[in-house]
Chains A and B, each alone.
Chain A
Amino acid sequence: MTWNEQLDKLLRRVEKPARYIGGELYSVEKDPGSVATRFGFAFPDTYEIGMSYLGLQIIYHVLNGMESVYCERVFAPAQDMEALMRAENMPLFTLETKTPLTEMDIVGFTLQYELSFTNIVNMLDLAGIPILSSDRKEGDPFVAAGGPCAYNPEPLAPVLDFVMLGDGEDSLREVCAAHEEWKASGAPRTAFLETICRIPGIYVPAFYEPVYDEEGSFSHMNKLFDAAPDTVEKRIVEDLNAADFPEKNIVPLIDVVHDRAVVEIFRGCTRGCRFCQAGMIYRPVRERSKERIKELAKSQIEATGYDEMSILSLSTSDHSEIEPLVTELMEMCRSNNVALSLPSLRLDSFSFKVLQEIQGYKKSGLTFAPEAGSQRLRDVINKNITEKDIYSAMEQAIELGWTGVKLYFMVGLPTETFEDLDGIVEIAGGIMEIARRAGGGKRGRFNVTVSVSNFVPKAHTPFQWCAQDTEESFEEKHLYLKDKLKKIKGVSFHYHGTHTSHLEAVFARGDRRVCQVLLKAWELGCKFDGWSEYFNYQLWQEAFRLTGISSDEYALRTIDPAAPLPWDHLSCSVSKKFFQMEWDRAQKEETTHDCRHGCVGCGVNSRTKCQREGTL
């Protein structure tokens, strides 16, 4: 039986077989024999999730733009496909050429969320690639990782040959060029790692050995290769206008989560919310110009035939040219019969005007993310939004005919008390009161959805030292809110499970020892942990028990800011001193202004110019 016949046999028996076929418009065909580097871009979740991720399109475009590189994609097969592949001994393969992953030179995973880590281990196993980097031999692929969770990759360190910090556009090219040279030289495997650890932004975990003190606390990293840097600094693409960006995105054949044209309008955020890792690691703000955005949007729409387009950033309204940009994009979309969608808009009068125009009768949901219920706690987390902002926006929304709003909050934030939770209830009630007044004493059809997630302390944020709430405390808070909110008519309440939040904290602040738990959990059958239908907490508890590692030690501990951290040797170019200053201010309930009002001293401008500093 040929490979294709064998694959056909499987595809006939699985759900959504087109997840595994490739062949989409603008997927790249190259002769694998003609390139020096075969790169397998691996997304540790299903096709539908991975294909919605813009970073994949950017990296695919950048790498395939190199003549010496062929980048192909691979996703985590769904459970039905995995079972058949294992039964038929079919190794994990790339979508483009159906080549087993073992034949790739580099397999690069993107680390988007902690709960996808078991899928990485599982994909390596399905591919037949040794799971631990120390077990890989000459001829095996190099296993790499990048993305937000790569800023604390320690729980995966024994699995990864190298890690890429920061923007990948330049460092990926440099790594591939180094690979071509290394391959031609015929030097041993380690020689490649010894070379690339000198490329800025590249971290080779095997060159660093963690040392723990007698109490078992992390003490320091012992460097095993002299030329490796003491601190690995993230890469920064300085000019987004000059940066490569895809105009011919791969157009999926099946329905994926976000199936639309998309242009990134800026990277970074100036607001400085203290819980937010993205707001720290993507600094500084680098904007793409209005003209460049329009140019990219136009060519993407023409090339793909999409009838929806979206713009992407951490906070849409903060683009310096947002009003003319949105007005002109609306015009372009209208004349091309394309629906424009504008995520994460701040709800000011301009936004309402725009939403009114693009949504017409079909009003989609409004969302608001106050994150905390009281002004005091919003000051602690530096979320600069006031009750007045919320209420006046809601007055406008109701007047314009919106019939609902979704509010996002976190519970378990540092210094939180039940009075802060009462604030959540007050805001929900206050909005319903506005709706009632507007409806002449009747509530009408207005609905408020309160959605609560659990605070997870993340590395490289001012809250990296904070303890997470215990699961019991989270549950108590959920029930407290549930009880109070159910008394308000028109308000519905959703909250996030506590087990996954607890695990996220373990991995977000984990050190290299946590890898044992990860491997054990995978052995016991954990995968797709981000999917509630597959998540199995009992197996995770078993894994902690069997490895003798305490999850509480990682999630619930308040860390002394003077203590060394397992990720101190990795830098997002925001200084630890700044994080500590922010943590002190948080405890004093002091806010820090948006750095568009003037530099706040985070340290990133020692590396690069902050375009938006002091512009407000």
Chain B
Amino acid sequence: MSRYVIQFYKDGNMRYISHLDLLRLFKRTFKRTGIRLIYSQGFNPHPRMSFVQPLSLGYASDKEYLDFETTEQLDCREIISRLNGAMPAGVGIIGCRELPPTKRTLAALVEYAVYEASFELSEPIPWREKLEEFLAQEQILVEKKQKKTGKLVEQDIRPMILKVEPLERSKNNDKYISLTLLTCAGSNRNLNPETLLSAFCSFCGLSYAAETASIRRKELYCGGQNGRDGLVSVMEYTPQNH
């Protein structure tokens, strides 16, 4: 029994398949390659594999991660080439690493995500200054629907925004915004990038035009480890037992 994490991109038309579709795609792709996964016990066995952090439908990603267990030990390069040989265009494996067989999944350890987001404002405004004002606020309150009750509750998203910076390509443009965002992500605290974008638009007195937005996840990070501060890419993080 061995455990691995693979790093892959999801791009092009594959942006439009959901988290569950992607799970099914990997399940079938593994089956086609003949790489045997460990299955759960019980009436409805399913393979032991999990994505580190779900990606919203419509987003592209440069670096996604899947954590899985196989019945036999395999060479990482072989895993990459066998999966890539059986995967349709739009999803490609770029890295693979063996993990120690701890109980802790990487999904439980992710803390931050970096996104690039571009969208169109409904009218041109000096948005760079607005952005500074927006981020200078102590609190940024947004309304969030509670999953269970469906009630609207106010939530302060300011603590989940670590960094927002305009990208070079939108430098001299008052209508098209391109930003890089560093936000909290994971099972503990998670900020959907579009919640931030739409909060910024309403701060500017505009409405957020989701259909113009193109969002790409650049990377997922865990917090510091072994006395190291800052962000550690999921690819470099080694989960340990407590």
Q: List the B side residues contacting A304 at CB < 8 Å.
A: 28, 32
Asked if B211 and A23 sit within 8 Å, CB to CB, the answer is: no
CB distance from B23 to the nearest CB of A (A): 11
Please pick, from B13, B86, B210, B212, the residue contacting A22 in the complex, using a CB distance under 8 A.
B13
- In the bound complex, what is the Cα–Cα distance between A307 and B17 (angstroms)? 20
Q: Mark A569-610, 1 if CB is under 8 A from B, else 0.
A: 000000000000000000000000000000000000000000
- In the bound complex, what is the Cα–Cα distance between A614 and B50 (angstroms)? 57
Q: List the B side residues contacting A12 at CB < 8 Å.
A: 58, 210-211, 213
Asked if A305 and B32 sit within 8 Å, CB to CB, the answer is: yes
Is A127's beta carbon under 8 Å from chain B?
A: no
Asked if B17 and A18 sit within 8 Å, CB to CB, the answer is: yes
- Of A249-257, A345-353, A397-405, A410-418, the segment with at least 4 beta carbons within 8 Å of chain B is A249-257
- In the bound complex, what is the Cα–Cα distance between A258 and B86 (angstroms)? 22
Which residues of chain A have a CB within 8 Å of any CB of chain B? 8-9, 11-13, 17-18, 21-25, 251, 253-255, 302-307, 337, 361-362
Beyond A254-B21, A307-B27, A307-B31, 19 additional pairs, beta carbon < 8 A: A8-B214, A11-B58, A12-B210, A13-B210, A13-B211, A17-B16, A17-B58, A18-B18, A22-B13, A23-B12, A23-B14, A25-B88, A253-B17, A253-B25, A253-B88, A254-B17, A254-B18, A255-B24, A305-B31
CB distance from B120 to the nearest CB of A (A): 10
How many A-B residue contacts, CB cutoff 8 Å?
A: 61
- In the bound complex, what is the Cα–Cα distance between A362 and B42 (angstroms)? 12
Q: List the B side residues contacting A25 at CB < 8 Å.
A: 88
Asked if B32 and A361 sit within 8 Å, CB to CB, the answer is: no
- In the bound complex, what is the Cα–Cα distance between A473 and B24 (angstroms)? 48
> For this complex, into which size category does the number of interface residues on chain B fall?
20 to 34
CB distance from B216 to the nearest CB of A (A): 13
Which residues of chain B have a CB within 8 Å of any CB of chain A? 12-14, 16-18, 20-21, 24-25, 27-32, 39, 43, 57-58, 86, 88-90, 210-214
Asked if A23 and B89 sit within 8 Å, CB to CB, the answer is: yes
Given A12-B213, A13-B211, A361-B43, A23 and B29 touching (CB < 8 A)? Answer: no
Q: List the B side residues contacting A18 at CB < 8 Å.
A: 13, 16-18, 21
- Best-surrounded residue of B20, B31, B213, B214 (most CB of chain A within 10 A): B31
Asked if B30 and A305 sit within 8 Å, CB to CB, the answer is: yes
Please pick, from B16, B28, B57, B213, the residue contacting A305 in the complex, using a CB distance under 8 A.
B28
Identify the closest chain B residue to A362 (Cβ): B43
Please pick, from B31, B57, B90, the residue contacting A17 in the complex, using a CB distance under 8 A.
B57
Q: List the B side residues contacting A305 at CB < 8 Å.
A: 27-32, 86
Given A254-B21, A362-B43, A21 and B30 touching (CB < 8 A)? Answer: no
Q: List the A side residues contacting B20 at CB < 8 Å.
A: 255
CB distance from B114 to the nearest CB of A (A): 21
Asked if B211 and A9 sit within 8 Å, CB to CB, the answer is: yes
Asked if A24 and B88 sit within 8 Å, CB to CB, the answer is: yes
CB distance from A90 to the nearest CB of B (A): 14
- In the bound complex, what is the Cα–Cα distance between A18 and B18 (angstroms)? 9
Asked if B43 and A21 sit within 8 Å, CB to CB, the answer is: no
Asked if A23 and B90 sit within 8 Å, CB to CB, the answer is: yes
- In the bound complex, what is the Cα–Cα distance between A133 and B188 (angstroms)? 61
Please pick, from B21, B30, B212, the residue contacting A9 in the complex, using a CB distance under 8 A.
B212
- In the bound complex, what is the Cα–Cα distance between A25 and B90 (angstroms)? 11
- In the bound complex, what is the Cα–Cα distance between A362 and B57 (angstroms)? 33
Identify the closest chain A residue to B210 (Cβ): A12
- In the bound complex, what is the Cα–Cα distance between A54 and B186 (angstroms)? 42
Q: Identify 8 residue pairs between A and B in the complex whose beta-carbon atoms are under 8 Å apart, listed by A's number.
A: A11-B16, A18-B17, A18-B21, A21-B13, A253-B17, A253-B21, A305-B32, A305-B86
Identify the closest chain B residue to A27 (Cβ): B88
Q: List the B side residues contacting A11 at CB < 8 Å.
A: 16, 58
- In the bound complex, what is the Cα–Cα distance between A21 and B16 (angstroms)? 8
Q: List the B side residues contacting A24 at CB < 8 Å.
A: 88
- In the bound complex, what is the Cα–Cα distance between A302 and B32 (angstroms)? 6
Identify the closest chain A residue to B36 (Cβ): A337
Identify the closest chain B residue to A17 (Cβ): B16
- In the bound complex, what is the Cα–Cα distance between A22 and B28 (angstroms)? 18
Q: List the A side residues contacting B31 at CB < 8 Å.
A: 305-307
CB distance from A146 to the nearest CB of B (A): 29
Identify the closest chain B residue to A11 (Cβ): B16
- In the bound complex, what is the Cα–Cα distance between A17 and B58 (angstroms)? 9
Identify the closest chain A residue to B16 (Cβ): A17
Q: List the A side residues contacting B212 at CB < 8 Å.
A: 9
CB distance from B151 to the nearest CB of A (A): 25
Please pick, from A9, A23, A337, the residue contacting B88 in the complex, using a CB distance under 8 A.
A23
CB distance from A252 to the nearest CB of B (A): 9
Q: List the B side residues contacting A254 at CB < 8 Å.
A: 17-18, 21
- In the bound complex, what is the Cα–Cα distance between A361 and B42 (angstroms)? 11
Please pick, from A255, A361, A362, the residue contacting B21 in the complex, using a CB distance under 8 A.
A255
- In the bound complex, what is the Cα–Cα distance between A307 and B24 (angstroms)? 10
Asked if B16 and A306 sit within 8 Å, CB to CB, the answer is: no
Identify the closest chain A residue to B87 (Cβ): A25
Q: List the B side residues contacting A302 at CB < 8 Å.
A: 32
Q: List the B side residues contacting A21 at CB < 8 Å.
A: 13, 16
Q: List the A side residues contacting B86 at CB < 8 Å.
A: 305
Q: Top 8 closest A-B pairs, CB basis?
A: A305-B28, A305-B31, A21-B13, A305-B32, A17-B16, A18-B16, A25-B88, A12-B211
Identify the closest chain B residue to A253 (Cβ): B17
- In the bound complex, what is the Cα–Cα distance between A254 and B20 (angstroms)? 9
Q: List the B side residues contacting A255 at CB < 8 Å.
A: 20-21, 24
Given A17-B57, A18-B21, A362-B43, A23 and B13 touching (CB < 8 A)? Answer: yes
- In the bound complex, what is the Cα–Cα distance between A254 and B57 (angstroms)? 12
